[in-house]
Amino acid sequence: MTARLQRARPGSPELQALVDELAERLGRSVAVDDPLVRMVCTSRHFGDEDPVRIGTLLQGRADNATIRYVLDQGVTQWSRAGFIDGRDDLGLLPRYVVPLRERGHLLGLLVVVVPGKTLAEHETRAIGLAADAMAAQMYGEQIATDTRKADERDLVLDLVGTDVAARTTARRRGRERGLLGAAEHVLVTVVQLSRATELGRQSEAGMWGALEGFRQTRSAQGLVAIGKERATLLQLRDRPPGPDEVASQSARIHDELRTFLGPSADPVIGVGGRHPGLDDAWTSYEQALVAARAARRLPSLRGVGDWELLGELAVLLQLPEHALNASLVPKPLRSLGEAHGGDRLRDTLRCFLEHAGSIPRTADALGIHRTSLYYRLRQIQEITGLDLDDGAHRLSLHLGLRVGELIAPGDGPVV
């Protein structure tokens, strides 16, 4: 089984030989998946193939719904082998799943198709012996992979860090190793999980799995860093990506994160500004952090913030976290929120300000007669004590409304 966007990653010849040997001994289809339920290697069919298996082999992926179903069975936390039920609606037959662990680390899943959910004693014994050999083989391969990922992480963090000398050295190091091309444009994307999510190996694997498909695309060459607080994708491009391209990439990353980690991880994505050159990767990174903060605070963004679409919110979101609370909302706006019909008047004020004080356009947007709009605006002025013809007063009210959008429920009353 492999996730959307990720082609099946071939296992080593040694691991493939172990899979084939076990499959021939059992006369059953066998596969090894990674901890995200993406196929690493598989045996030939034995007449027990199902739509999920066939689709995986033909298309290089299983449907995300299937992956989420398997992960929801808790297989990555299993301490011993067990069965997972089939699902007719997914085209999935029952499977016998063995967690492949070495020194406490989950390396993958040994999956055997067992339509009748019954195995003879000699079969479970053979599976157990093969699982031990596979785990040992995968552990050795994992050490090399972890070293490569650590080197890549260190390079990315130096490239987006605040130390000018470290950035210069990292650019030279990356180019010498062939990891950085000569592309003229840079874009940084960050991923952050809910603070309630424990950042263990499964979370790290999920973030890596969601981002690795964008390390090498037709239009970008990228590097990934998985840290304790966030994951970072640095991409070098021949041209600046358009808004639709960025939105599509972000949506696909967000979808993969929810597939691999479940909705409780509550991931948010921040996309930095598009800059002409690797020298400005650190700027795009800082902007991506602000955009991720916007995605966390504004439900309307649906988990994805883009620096270049934030407008004045980009400035407000650079206030310290402790300062971004209800105390920033001007008193006149708080009075408006507490007044009778305050919600309607607040919405009217927001619409009026967003249409640059145009009476015709505001009335059309609200679907009300201009006479009604004038009446509401007089009410707003009486309650707030401010003059809507005064530019400074209008700026104060508009910024107050925007701050109110950013205030979390626990930060105090929001107008």
CATH class of 13-143: alpha beta
pLDDT of residue 406: 84
Which CATH fold topology does 321-411 show?
Arc Repressor Mutant, subunit A (1.10.10)
pLDDT higher than 80, residue 267: yes
* 160-316 shares the fold of 13-143: no
DSSP 231-251: EEEEEEESSPPPHHHHHHHHH
The average pLDDT across 111-133 equals: 96
Q: What is the pLDDT of residues 15-40, one digit of tens each?
A: 999 999 999 999 999 999 999 999 99
What confidence tens digit (pLDDT) does each residue in 359-412 have? 999 999 999 999 999 999 999 999 999 999 988 998 888 988 888 888 854 454
| C-alpha torsion angle, residues 174, 177, 181, 187 (rounded to 10) | -30
Lowest mean pLDDT among 51-60, 150-159, 179-188: 179-188
* pLDDT tens-digit readout, 123-171: 999 999 999 999 999 998 888 888 889 999 999 999 999 999 999 999 8
* Calpha distance 332→375 (Å, rounded): 18
End-to-end CA distance of the chain: 48
Place of tokens 């050159």: 277
Average pLDDT for residues 228-250, to the nearest whole number?
Answer: 91
pLDDT at 325 over 80: no
pLDDT band at 45 (very low <50, low <70, confident <90, very high): very high
The pLDDT assigned to 405 comes to: 83
- Contact partners, residue 128, CB within 8 Å, separation at least 6: 81, 98
Which of 85-94, 171-180, 293-302 comes out lowest in average pLDDT? 171-180
The encoded tokens of residue 130 equal 């093969």
pLDDT at site 10: 65
What is the Cα–Cα distance from 62 to 60, expressed in whole angstroms? 7
**Rounded to an integer, what is the distance from CA 367 to the centroid of its chain?**
38
Look at 221-230, 296-305, 352-361 and tell me which has the smallest mean pLDDT: 221-230
Q: What is the CATH number of domain 160-316?
A: 3.30.70.1130
What DSSP string runs through 96-137?
EEEEEEETTEEEEEEEEE-TTS---HHHHHHHHHHHHHHHHH
pLDDT of residue 220: 87
Ranges of each domain in the chain = 13-143, 160-316, 321-411
Residue 265 burial (CB count, 10 A): 22
User: What pLDDT was estimated at residue 104?
Assistant: 82
What is the C-alpha to C-alpha distance for residues 19 and 2, in angstroms, rounded to an integer?
A: 17
SS3 77: helix
